[in-house]
Amino acid sequence: MNQVKVGNFTIGGSAPLALLAGPCVLESLERSLLIGRTVKEICGRLGINYVFKASFDKANRSSFHSFRGPGLTKGIAWLKTIKEELGVPIVTDIHESYQAAPAAEVADILQIPAFLCRQTDLLHAAAQTGRVVNVKKGQFLAPDDMRNVVDKLHESGCDQLMLTERGASFGYHNLVVDMRSLPIMRSFGYPVVFDGTHSVQLPGGNGTSSSGNREYVEYLVRAAVGVGIDALFLEVHDNPEEALSDGANMVYLDKLEDLLKEALAIHEIVQQHHPV
């Protein structure tokens, strides 16, 4: 398997389990630092490689009036401060091709949202930055279809990439995770990530916003780690009820360490019996 270099560590193959985690969106610099600092401390105790995650602009909100974040300029400035103060790599998502270059000035990983995973120009722009590109599998795609995404990135000059599973949509405000997608996408030769929080999202479940089934995150995480993954993606918050985006599916910050301990125990068993 091809490993990807992120900061001072690698993801994939025999590398330790990595965690991409943080709030859904940058609500404030202070709160983002609080969340990021706490997650870093947890990962330090458990020996997990940590990448801070947050969006500077959520362009895919259900309602025109929903909170989107601080925007590109202020958001990138906040992410730079977080990166410098916490000393961790950064992953953030981009929705438009023009966002790739400025985001790459700070972000170690550029993330392509699931609903944009087939946008050739966006993939090309991300690839051209030289950063690691993490593409979330579209809710409307079979895992085999992600081979075309890999090919687009290759032809755009990118060989540092990861693929993320976040569930498939069959309508009616629900997502279903087919665990077979993880080994299928891993067979392409690149690290795979499991998004444990968006996988329990109920898109549009509240009419003008999404809802979610947070209580199922731990079960899906156990299953995905048991199948075999290289990193976990989790949105976490100190008080999800106050979150300005995706609160219903986010993990409570004070529940994260126990969840990660379980994931690590399963990951170690998988690595012993099925080393990559």
Q: Which residues contact 100 (CB under 8 A, 6 or more apart)?
A: 94, 110, 122, 125, 126, 128, 129
For the chain, the domain total comes to: 1
Residues 131-175 pLDDT 10s? 999 999 999 999 999 999 999 999 999 999 999 999 999 888 889
Please give the structure tokens belonging to residue 212. 């979610």
Q: For residue 237, what is the domain's CATH number?
A: 3.20.20.70
Looking at residue 205, what is its pLDDT?
60
Q: What is the pLDDT of residue 272?
A: 87
Tokens (6 digits) for 170: 């069959």
Closest C-alpha among 211, 193, 243 to residue 23: 243
Name the residue range of residue 257's domain: 4-273
Which has more confidence, 51 or 246?
Answer: 51
- For the cut 90, the answer to whether the pLDDT of residue 22 exceeds it is yes
- Calculate the average pLDDT of the chain: 94
Residue 208's SS3 state is coil
Where on the phi/psi map is residue 183: left (φ > 0), alpha (ψ -120 to 50), or beta?
alpha
The residue type found at 203 is: P
Reported as a single tens digit per residue, the pLDDT across 174-226 is 899 999 999 999 999 999 999 999 999 887 666 656 677 899 999 999 999 99
> How much is the pLDDT for 247?
84
CB atoms within 10 A of CB 41: 12
Structure-token pair, residue 52: 């801070």
Indicate the helix (H) or strand (E) that contains 11. strand 9-11
Query: pTM score, two decimals?
Result: 0.95
